[in-house]
Amino acid sequence: MELVAKITLLFAGWGAIAGVLSGSLRGLPTGQGSFLVLAIFLVLFYASYRLAPNILKFIPDEFPGGRWTGLIALKRGFLGFLIMWLVLWILTYNIAIT
């Protein structure tokens, strides 16, 4: 499997974890809950960016298409992370309120 596909799957997996964590915060007041959900999203996205070279065992300087940077992580992994986070956040929240 190509490295770019592995990165996309890695970000999607971290997004799934972030979505489940975000969806389980339904009991908090609106202001605190919104801040915490945003914090979970940003912290886990940053963690996935920083841990991707270690998990997938590639050297950041030898990434195809240039050096592994935050901008490349945004281009390659943000959409998968966002979609999985949003879907699992909504799903977990709806399951939790029923």
Query: Which tens digits make up the pLDDT trace of 24-57?
Result: 887 777 677 788 889 999 999 999 999 999 999 9
In the block, residue with structure tokens 């940053």 = 46
**Whole-model pTM?**
0.89
Show Cβ contacts of residue 15 under 8 Å, excluding neighbours closer than 6 positions: 44, 45, 80, 81, 82, 83, 84, 85, 88
Mean pLDDT value across residues 76-96: 93
- Residue among 56, 52, 82 nearest 69 (CA): 52
Q: How far is CA 91 from the centre of its chain?
A: 16
Is pLDDT at 65 greater than 80 in this prediction?
A: no
- CA–CA–CA angle 38, 89, 91 (5° rounding): 165
